[in-house]
Amino acid sequence: MKNDRRQSAKGWPIWVASGGINFFGQGWLFHQWLKWLHKWVLFWLAGLTWLGALKVFKTSTLYLQAGNMPLDQETLMPTERFPKCIYVRPWQWLLGVALNAVGLSGPGFKDLLERGFWQKLTEYFQISLMPIGPKETWEEQWRGCLRLLGKHFKDFLSPFGLQLNGSCPNVRVGEAMTEIVEKILRMLDAISEFPFMKEVEVFVKIAVTMSPADAARIAAHPNCAGLVVSNTVPFGWFGIPKWKWLFWFPFSLRFDFSAGWRHLSIRLVSPLAKFGGGGLSGAGLFPLLVKWLKEFRTIDSNSYVNAGGGILKAKQVDRLFAVGANSISIGSIAFLRWWRMADVIEHAYLAFHRLVR
């Protein structure tokens, strides 16, 4: 690897949220539509741009994962024009929220490495990885990913980092959080078995559903370069009041008369229930992220934290830096408020440079 000086993600004020630009930066179908729209119709508005943000590519699993979004195996683009596992209607778009249950669709890490794209990049980037399935196999899947990476490591032209995703809501519903934390810690232990990993930063991606205390345990691990918070949160998660879920997704209310009128029960059913419920992204995450980060900094004032979730306007960047973020990440803004992306990225650089002076 050509590495005159060790580059680091910590020098970037803003990152792309994993999944935002697909596996190789080619983006998604709606990116192409927006490009056409801005050229011919919305030419007075700023267009979608990731320029200046650290590239973090879509999360991959060790093996092929069908997930809930069928992909063309050549282009890795969705075969559905409007993927059924992503729920954004006009009401949700106006509120700035969305649900997705993509479920980590992808061709598998071996296939992605053999395409050779990442090896040719000349600027620091990150690859996101996640073990799935029975928890007893997570550590071996993680080792399998690192073995594959080791075989190709000498071919990379640029330094790069990894994100260990421990928080996708669409593949681990119901797992006890303590088990997940212990598994993440053991996967971080396993990094020491691979000498080449001394040159690779590993960040752990979690969600606000994990307690700040548990997150601090992960951040304290010597093989953890920092945390990335937050991934989406599962539909109906108890940390968000039911009235908010109902406000965002009005047609999710269900009345259950199966036990008779006297035992009427009212419950929320996700619009993506057939895909497992999905995870919330967008504006609903932002206040949760601010609250979580405040609590985390009372426990751990030193660990590196990249904070993202519901950033849809520039002034929110200042809020996150004020409560302890070291950098930020953006994702859902690309389809909810894309014309603000350039302003948010520029604002992140200004806020970051004020912070590091």
Alpha helices in the chain (DSSP H): 29-40, 90-95, 109-114, 138-152, 177-190, 212-219, 242-248, 286-299, 315-322, 333-336, 341-356
Q: Is residue 112 part of a domain?
A: yes
Which residue segment(s) compose the domain that 40 sits in? 9-235+279-356
| Mean of all residue pLDDT scores within the chain | 92
Write the pLDDT tens digit of every residue in 112-161: 999 999 999 999 999 999 999 887 799 999 999 999 999 999 999 999 99
Q: Are strands 97-100 and 279-282 parallel, antiparallel or unpaired?
A: antiparallel
pLDDT tens digits, one per residue of 279-319: 999 999 999 999 999 999 999 999 999 999 999 999 999 99
Q: Which residues, listed in sequence order, are joined to residue 331 by a DSSP beta bridge?
A: none
Query: 127: closest CA among 71, 203, 182?
Result: 203
Tally of domains within the chain: 1
- pLDDT of 3: 43
Q: Is residue 215 part of a domain?
A: yes
Are 320 and 311 contacting, i.e. CB atoms less than 8 angstroms apart?
yes
Task: Strand 160-165: give its sheet, edge to edge.
Answer: 14-16, 327-330, 305-308, 226-229, 201-206, 160-165, 125-129
CA distances from 126 to 8, 39, 269, 295 (A): 10, 31, 35, 27
Q: Would residue 266 count as lying in a domain?
A: no
Question: In the chain, how long is the greatest CA-to-CA distance?
Answer: 73
Phi–psi pair at 330, nearest 5 degrees: -130, 145
Cα–Cα distance measured from residue 327 to residue 307, given in angstroms and rounded to the nearest whole number: 6
Give me the residues paired with residue 163 across strands.
128, 203
357 — pLDDT class (breaks 50, 70, 90): low
Q: Is residue 226 assigned to a domain?
A: yes
- The answer to whether position 2 is within a domain reads no
Residue 141 belongs to a domain: yes
246 to 181, 185, 250, 285, 354: CA distances (angstroms): 31, 36, 5, 15, 40
pLDDT digits (tens, 9 = 90+) for 179-223: 899 999 999 999 999 999 999 999 999 999 999 999 999 999 999
Question: How confident is residue 99, by pLDDT bands cut at 50, 70 and 90?
Answer: very high
What span, in angstroms and rounded, lies between the C-alpha atoms of 133 and 69?
18
**Distance in angstroms (rounded) separating the CA atoms of residues 52 and 306:** 16
Enter the tokens of residue 214.
């548990």
pLDDT, average across residues 18-24: 96
Domain containing residue 184: CATH number: 3.20.20.70
* Model confidence at 356: pLDDT above 60: yes
Residue matched to tokens 């093989």: 223
Q: Is 1 part of a structural domain of the chain?
A: no
- Tell me the pairing of strands 305-308 and 226-229: parallel
